[in-house]
Amino acid sequence: MNFLFSINRTFIPLLLNCVNSILKNGDIDEYVAYVLHSDLETEDMSSIQSAVGKQMNFHFVSVPISLFEGFPISRRYPQQIYYRLAAPLLLPPELKRVLYLDVDTIVINSLTELETMPFGEACFMACTHVQKPLAKLNQARLGIEQEVPYINSGVMLLNLPLFRKHLDLAEIRAFTNKKKSILFLPDQDILTALYGDHVKLLDSLRYNLSDRVLAFHNAKSQQEKLDVEWVRKNSVIVHYCGRSKPWKEHYHGSLGVFYQELVK
């Protein structure tokens, strides 16, 4: 199975945690990882491969900083968040499908379903973390005419041959320059606005579960309440998105137990 990550040097420890969770729980025979970056040194690459061993074969893809020069960045949103938008053009042309993961995700169950899940006519599969009313507000904010889900870009299964046909970096730059002042979650705004009509939605409770998504689900009176044991049996990928992380102080959430079990 092919994996994709996009990092700078500061995210190496989280990358290794995510990879360790894949190797522990992914239940796949062969793992290959592609890492998009701009600042990794040779020793960084060697240490990553050495830490993982032969269980996963790494390929490091250096991305020119100029590719996304001028795009909005901050401490929370470094330039590397945009690299995944260009992934179909940056990865080897013979590659057919790849699972992109933010490094603040961990895998807690088998990935075999995702390994073979059919794309249909979709360029990618992903989840949404927002309800329809907020999705409509985002559509209005971004000037999207058609009704599309607001995409969470932390977990994406990419249909590379089809995505390559639709992807236009000049269009991405033009949109970003036009909307720069109103971009809130920049890469997700761009992905939703330009490619939201090419997505096949996945169940966020299974494939991109955050503490907030779980809390929203349990707050609905008509829904069955889900606890940690339900997550342990049914969810595949846990995503510690947002500012509250179990490896930081003052974390509040029930899903941190899976991170603690991974690193103990």
Rounded to two decimals, what is the model's pTM? Answer: 0.97
> How far, in whole angstroms, is CA 190 from its chain's centroid?
14
Region of 127 (left: φ > 0; alpha: ψ -120 to 50; beta: rest) is beta
| Amino acid at the residue 4 | L
Angle at 235 between CA 232 and CA 236, to 5 degrees: 110
- 51 vs 246: CA distance, rounded Å: 22
Quote the pLDDT of residue 75. Answer: 86
CB count, 10 Å around CB of 13?
A: 11
Q: What's the pLDDT tens digit per position in 80-124?
A: 999 999 999 999 999 999 999 999 999 999 999 999 999 999 999
- 187 vs 191: CA distance, rounded Å: 6
Tokens for 120, please give them: 């249909």
Q: What's the Cα-to-Cα distance from 260 to each of 74, 80, 156, 254, rounded to whole Å? A: 29, 27, 25, 11
* Cβ partners under 8 Å of residue 71, min gap 6: 79, 82, 176, 186
Q: What's the pLDDT tens digit per position in 13-48?
A: 999 999 999 999 999 999 999 999 999 999 999 999
Cβ proximity of 131 and 107 under 8 Å: no
Q: What's the pLDDT tens digit per position in 193-215?
A: 999 999 999 999 999 999 999 99
Cβ proximity of 237 and 208 under 8 Å: yes
> Taking the alpha carbons of 216, 219, 221, 226 in that order, is the dihedral positive or negative?
positive
Rg for the chain, CA atoms, rounded: 18
Q: What's the pLDDT tens digit per position in 209-251?
A: 999 999 999 998 787 899 999 999 999 999 999 999 999 999 9
